[in-house]
Chain A
Amino acid sequence: MTRAPLYLAYASLVFTLLSGAVSVLAVRRHPDFLHFGSFFFLFLSGAAGIVAGAWVLLSGRTLSDRFALGLPWLDWHLRIDPLSGFFLLLLGTLVLAVALYGPSYTRQFARGPAAQPLPPLGIFTALFVLGMQMLLLADDALVFMIFWEMMSLAGYFLVVYQHQHTANRQAAFLYLLLAHVGALVILLAFGVLAAFGGGLTFDRMRAAHLSPLWATLAFTFAFAGFGTKSGMVRLHVWLPEAHPVAPSHISALMSGAMIKMGIYGIVRVSYDLIGNVRWEWGMAVLIIGTASSLLGVLYALMQHDLKRLLAYHSIENIGIILMGLGLSMIFIGNGHTMLGTLGLVAALYHTLNHALFKALLFLGAGSVLYRTHAHDLDQMGGLIHRMPVTALLFLVGCVAISALPPFNGFVSEWLTFQTALQAPILHDGVLRTIIPIAAALLALTGALAAACFVKAFGIAFLGKARTRRVGRAREVPAGMLAGMSLLATLCLLLGVFPTTMIEIMAPITQLLVHDELPSAAAQGWLWLTPISPEVASYSAPFLVLAIVIVFALGYLFLKRGADPARRAYAWDCGFGRLTQRMQYTSTAFSQPIRRVFSGIWKVDEAIETLTGAGTIPRVTSLHYSLHTQDWCWLKCYLPIGRLVLAAANRIGFIQTGNIHTYLKFSFVTLIVFLWIVS
C-alpha cells in the first residue's frame, strides 16, 4: 500500500515553492539564473504532478493525509483521488509545457521596450501554480478556500504585470472583482454543506443528508461561483479582458488550467459532496452550457485581436463541457447511470482536450507576439513562410479546437453527440425534444468555431504580410517550439488513441457515479464503441492511414516522374499586381456571418468620407470603423455599476470630513452598545 503518489504530489508542491524562492533570491544580478532556475523547478513540479496524477489514475486508489497547520482546532486535510489525479495530470502537463516555453519567452521582459522586473513574474507564477495544485489536493473547505484565493490573487498580479497601460489595470480590476464575487458564492455553498454536515471537512459533507431544497440551493451557489471562474455566459465578462493582457504563457496557464478549476469544483461539489444529482440541475446546466457555447463563438467571430479571440473561444468550450455535464446529470437523475457516465466521460475528456489545445494556441499567439509585437490579426499575414514550425503547431491547435478528425477535439464532441442521441430513452417528452435541439446548436457552434479558426489561422499565417515588421519576422527559439510541440503531439495522440484514454478515466467515474463504460474499449484499442458496436463506432487511425496512403500514392505516381513546379504571379483578373492590402481582413472574413446573426452584437459601423472641392466631387479620404460590443456588458453590468455608484453617492453624505462628526458617531455607537449589553 504505497503512498508514493501522495508524496510525489508533495514533491511537486515543494518544487513550485522552490521555483518561487529562486525568483525572490536571484533578484537583479543574475537574470539568467532566474530564468533557468525558476522554470527548471517548474518543470520538475510539472513532471512530478504528471507522475502523481497518472499513478493515482492507473491504480484507482484514494490516499489522504492530515497536517496540523493552520488554526489549532482546524487541521488541514489533504486527499488525492482519481478525480484530483486527473486534474493534476492536466495541470502538470501544462506546467511542463510552459516551463519549456517560458525561459525564451520571458527574455523579452528582461531588457528592451517591454522591460519589466522579472522576480514578481516568477514569484506570482509559482504562487498561482501552487494555489491550483493545493486546491486539487484539498479535502476540507478551509484549505480549498485559502488556495482558491491564492490562485485568484496571484492571477491578479500576473494579469496586471504590464501595468503601464490603463486598459490592463481595468481588465485586472474586473477580473479581481468577479473572482471575489465568485469566491463569496462558493463560500456560501460550502457554508450550506458544512451546516448540514456538521464540519468543514469534505468527508463530513459527503455524509450529510440534504433535503432537495437545500441540495438545490447548495448546487446553485456552487454552480454560480465556480461558473464565474470558468467563464460561463453572463458571468464571463472578465475573461476576454483579462486573458489577452497577461503574458502569453500565463494566459495559456489561465485559460488552460485556471478555468478548469471551476469545472473541477462543479464536478467535486455536485457528484461527490452533494451526492445524488437531480435532473433539473442538469437541465439548467445544459441550457446555460448551450448558451455559453453559442454566444462565446459568435463573439469570438467578431474579434480581430488574436488573444481576445482565443479568450472568447474558452467561453465556448466551457459551454461544451457544461453541456456534457448537464446531459450526464439529466441521465443520472433519471436513473440511467451508464449514459450519465458517458456524459461525464465526454465532459472530462473535453476538459483535458481544451486545456491542451487552448494552451497550445495561446503559446502560439505568444510566439507571434514575441517576434512581431503585433496583437491585431489585421497587421499579420504570411507568417507561414517566416515561422514555418510555429505555423504548423498553431495549425494543429486550430484543427483540434475546430473539432475535426483525427484530433482530440473531435473525439470529445463526438462523445457528447452520442450522449445526446440517447435522449429517446428518457420518459419526459419535453426533454426528448430539447436535447436534440441542444445537440443541433452544438453542431452550429462547431461549424462557427471552424469558420473562426479558418479566419484566425488564415489571416495571421497565410497570404502576404500586411505590415513590414511582420514581413521581417523570424522563427522563435527552440525552447518555445519544444513546449508547443509537446502539446501538439498530445493533441494528436489523444485523438488517435481515445480508447486508452477512456480506460484510464474509468476510475474517476467509478469513484463518482459507481459505474463505468464497459464497452468503450471492448472491441480493442482500434475501435471506440462507447455504447455498443451496433450503435456507434469510430476509429481514428484509419483516417491518418488514408491520408498517408494518399500522400504516398501521390508521391509515387504523380510527383516523382513529373517536372518540378513553376512559380508565377497569382491571378489578378488583368488589373495588374495586387497588393497585400487587397487581401481579406478579419473583419471582412466574418462579415457574412455578422450579417446573418446581426442581432447578437451591438454593432456600430461608421463610414466617413471626405470629398474634395471642385465641380466634380471626388472622395479624398475614406474612414471605416466597426465596433462590436457585448450586449451582456451593456445591459447587465453597466446598469449594476451605475446603481452601485448611485447608492454610494447617496450614502456618501456620512463622510463629511469633519472630525467632530466622526467623534459623535463613535460616542453614539458606544452608548448604543452599552445599552444593548446591559
Chain B
Amino acid sequence: MGIASLGLYNQAIILFASLALLTSFIMLAQARMMPLIFTFAWQGLLLATVSVLVAIVSKHPHLYISAALTFTLKVVLIPWLLYRLSVKLNMQYDAEAIAHPTLMLLGGVGLVIFGYHVAQSIVHLSGLATRNTIAVSIAIELLGMLLMCARKSAVAQVIGFMSMESGIFFAAVISTYGMPLIVELGVAFDILVAAILFGVFFFHLRDSFGSLDVGQFNRLSEANQPMPLRDAAAEPAPGEPS
C-alpha cells in the first residue's frame, strides 16, 4: 500500500496534514467566536509542525525559520489580536446563526474532491514522497474561501482569509520546500498588517453600522435609502445555530 511503505516522519506529515483538513471542516461548522479562533490557532500549530517535519525529512534548514514564523504569527499573535478585539467589542460570546450547516459541510466535501481532481495533474511535479498532500493544501485553501463566502460575521471572514493563506503556505512547503524567504517574510508581515488594519476597521464599522454583520453592509449601496431608522433593531440576535 502507499502509506505503509513510507517512513515514520512521512506518515506523521500525512497525519498532521489530515488533522489540518479536519480543523478546516470544524471551522466551517463552528458558530461560536472563541472556539473558532481557538481552532484557527490549532490549524496554525499543525501546519508549523508539518513544516518542521518536512525540514527534518528534506534537510532544508530554512523551513525551521518558516515554521517559527508561522508559529509566532498564526498560533500566537493573530489569535491573540482577534481575541483582544472580540473582548473590546464585547463579542467574545457571540454565536452566529449559520444557514444550512449540512449544505456547507457537503459543499466542503465536494471541494475536497474537486481539489483532488485538480491536484492529480500536478502531483508528479513534486519530488517529495508525501506529494499527495498537495490536494489537501488546495482543499484547505478552497475551504478557507468557502468560509469567507458562507459566513456573515466579519471575524469569521477574517479567519477564512487567514486560512486561505495557510493553505497556500502549506502548498508551498509541500511542493517546493517552501517559498523563498523574502517572499515568505513579505507575506507574513502583510498578514500581520492586515490583521491590525482589520481591527481598526472593525471599530469604525461597529460605530457606523452598529453591527459587524456583513449582510448589513449593503446599506452602503447608493440605490438604498440613507440610514434607515431601524439601526439598533437591525443587529441580529446571537441565536442558537439550527
Chains A and B touch each other in the complex, with CB atoms below 8 Å apart: yes
- Residues of A that sit less than 8 Å from B by CB: 429-430, 433-434, 437, 599
Closest beta carbon of chain B to A135's beta carbon, Å: 41
Option from A429, A437, A599 in Cβ contact (under 8 Å) with B120: A429
- The complex places the Cα of A434 from the Cα of B110 at a distance, in Å, of 10
Q: Which residues from chain B contact A429 at a C-beta distance below 8 Å?
A: 116-117, 120
* C-alpha spacing A433/B109, complex, angstroms: 10
Taking the closest CB of chain A, its distance from the CB of B110, in whole angstroms, is 10
On chain B, the residues within 8 Å of A599 by CB distance are 100
Cα–Cα, bound, A599→B106 (Å): 14
Residues of chain A within 8 A of B113, CB atoms compared:
430, 433-434
What is the bound-complex CA distance between A437 and B113, given in angstroms?
A: 11
Interface residue count for B (Cβ, 8 Å)? 6
C-alpha spacing A599/B101, complex, angstroms:
12
List, in ascending order, chain A residues with CB within 8 A of B117's CB.
429-430
Which residues of chain B are within 8 angstroms of A430 by Cβ–Cβ distance? 113, 116-117
Contacts of A434 in B (CB 8 A): 113
Q: In the complex, what residues of A have CB within 8 A of residue B109's CB?
A: 437
Instruction: Give me 8 other A-B pairs in contact (C-beta within 8 A), A429-B120, A430-B117, A434-B113 excluded.
Output: A429-B116, A429-B117, A430-B113, A430-B116, A433-B113, A433-B116, A437-B109, A599-B100
CB-nearest residue of chain B to A430: B117
> Considering only CB atoms, which chain B residue lies closest to A434 in the complex?
B113
Give the nearest-CB partner of A598 in chain B.
Answer: B242
Shortest Cβ gap from B19 to chain A (Å)? 19
Q: Which residue of B lies closest to A437 (CB)?
A: B109
By beta carbon, the residue of chain A nearest B100 is A599
The docked-state distance in angstroms from the alpha carbon of A429 to that of B109 is 14
Query: In whole angstroms, how far apart are the Cα atoms of A434 and B113 in the complex?
Result: 8
Closest to A599 in B: B100
Q: For residues 93 through 132 of chain B, which have their beta carbon under 8 Å from a beta carbon of chain A? A: 100, 109, 113, 116-117, 120
A69 to B100, CA, bound (A): 62
Q: Which residues of A contact B100 (CB under 8 A)?
A: 599
Residues of B within 8 A of A437 (CB): 109
What CA separation (Å) do A437 and B106 show in the bound complex? 11
9 contacts between A and B (CB under 8 A): A429-B116, A429-B117, A429-B120, A430-B113, A430-B116, A430-B117, A433-B116, A434-B113, A437-B109
Binary CB contact string for chain B from 223 to 237 against chain A (1 if under 8 A, 0 otherwise)? 000000000000000
Name the residue of chain B whose CB is nearest to the CB of A597: B102
User: How far is A437 from B116 in the complex, measured between Cα atoms in Å?
Assistant: 15
Residue-wise, chain B 192-209 has the 8 Å CB interface mask toward A (1 for contact) of 000000000000000000
A595 to B100, CA, bound (A): 14
A430–B116 alpha-carbon span in the complex (Å): 8
Q: Report which residue of A429, A430, A434, A599 has the largest number of chain B beta carbons within 10 angstroms of its beta carbon.
A: A429
Quote the shortest CB–CB distance from A117 to chain B (angstroms).
53
Q: What distance in Å separates the Cβ of A558 from its nearest Cβ neighbour in chain B?
A: 47
Cα distance A397–B120 in the bound complex, in angstroms: 47
B104 to chain A, nearest CB (A): 13
Q: Within the complex, what minimum Cβ distance (angstroms) separates A398 from chain B?
A: 30
Q: Which residues of chain B come closer than 8 Å to A433, judged between CB atoms?
A: 113, 116
Q: B116: nearest residue on chain A (CB-CB)?
A: A429
Per the bound structure, the CA–CA distance linking A434 and B117 in Å amounts to: 12
Cβ-closest chain A residue relative to B135:
A429
Q: B136 → chain A, closest Cβ, in Å?
A: 13
Q: Which A residue's beta carbon lies closest to that of B117?
A: A430
Minimal Cβ-Cβ distance residue in A for B113:
A433
A419 to B117, CA, bound (A): 23
